[in-house]
Chain A
Amino acid sequence: MRIPYYPGCTLSTKAKGFDQAARQSFAALGIELAELKTWNCCGATFPLSRDNLLDLAGPVRNLVSAAAEGDKLAVACSTCFNVLKRSNLVMRNEEDKREKINFFIEADYAGSVQVLHLLEILRDEVGWDNLAKAVKKNLADLSVAPYYGCMFLRPPKEMGFDDHENPQILENFIRALGAQVADYPHRAECCGNYIAAFDLETTREMSYLILASARKAGADLIVTSCPLCQFNLDRWQQDLAMKHGGFRPIPVLYDTQLLGIALGLDTTTFDLDKHYVDPRPVLAEKGLI
């Protein structure tokens, strides 16, 4: 199976390991993630002002490219996923804006493409049972905290592929890989998003709430599918450990990295060494790398 794939700017630069792990894992599962021939940055945030149509033109251009290559678009990053999916809904449901945007970018697009997160493809195309069968490593001893953040689930009326207050897709993914799910309350609280650029202290504390509760629930590591969440959660743990006595840093992996590891793939291109909190010791201790 071949599915057109949108990597996005962060996965082409700072989060290459996320991208590599995605492509290789899906290849191992028989799915080619075929990078769009042309794509541009999605804008990294869905414009919330009513007449901000120019900001929608960027993401829509990607959808137009995707439509030329198939009827689906696979996305790894949950922020890109949020922006693309919501922009697609605008094109599908809001006639006014559709006309104007099509006019700006000289296209004739009406939201035909199905924007899918990689986890959705695992759930709906591969199936959890088949995924479980493809797993080569024994993760039974690994406790994983799923981290959804905001963009993946909200607003539910638009994102709506899982219960926004009680999501299960990451849990099912972790279980399919054979690992334990660490049940902690803050899996869908915001990590601080872009406010890191404005007020670092606030972002750190927002991340700390999540990290500490995952640790408390006995997690060995956290998985997420957003590079900004990954960064916010990963980057400040040394500072947090100094500030909050007793806090033990916890590695934050991308979902696709854990997938590749479970599938027994060679992890050299996964950039596991680029994380601030090194995940390799715990992975080695559990016999996974």
Chain B
Amino acid sequence: MRIQLSATKVHNDFIRKVEDMSGQDLLKCYQCGECSAGCPAAFAMDILPNQVIRLLQLGEHEAVLKSKTIWLCAACQQCYTRCPKGVDLSRIMEAVRDLLMLEHGDRIVIEKLPAETLAEFPQQAFISGFRKYTA
């Protein structure tokens, strides 16, 4: 794998949008990895939470957009709570999701969920799922 770094890449618009929407400074993260160490969903993720930030820092947002990780983040705030630098990664995840869905449409179609699931889930799960997986 080879990443070609360039000024246009590391300063690209997508990254600026992520910073603006999330209110987070991506370069504040010093890649300690504590977010990934405590993330309850990390075991199922294809890239680690800290790598989401790392790739954004390098302008490699395409790799982030392709990842499962942003959809598996449960917004549990564990990472933000413990981050030694106070980076709110859950806000960054949300900004990436929102930007992606603005362009490519919703991630899930509520009507297409299995009827059985629909009947059983508490309201809360739909409403928050709707908020996270649709634009």
Contact = CB atoms under 8 A, between A and B. Distances in A.
A44 to B, nearest CB: 4
Contacts of A13: 122-123
B21 A51 contact: yes
Contacts of B129: 194-198
Contacts of B127: 9, 41, 43-45
B131 A198 contact: no
A49 B81 contact: no
Nearest to B114: A200
Nearest to A55: B131
A205 B77 CA distance: 19
A143 B23 CA distance: 44
Contacts of A156: 81
Contacts of B94: 48-49
B119 to A, nearest CB: 10
Interface residues of B, number: 41
B124 A202 contact: no
B61 interface: no
B80 A79 contact: no
A231 B129 CA distance: 14
Chain A interface residue bracket vs B = 35 or more
Nearest to B93: A48
Contact of B21 (A50, A206, A230): A50
Interface in A168-202: 189-190, 192-199, 201-202
B98 A155 contact: no
Contact of A14 (B76, B77, B122, B128): B122
A195 B131 contact: no
Given A49-B95, A155-B77, A227 B124 contact: yes
A13 B121 CA distance: 11
Given A55-B131, A198-B108, A45 B75 contact: yes
Interface in A1-27: 8-10, 13-15
B51 interface: no
Q: Which 10 A-B pairs have the closest CB atoms?
A: A197-B129, A190-B76, A154-B77, A150-B76, A193-B74, A44-B127, A45-B128, A48-B94, A194-B129, A194-B128
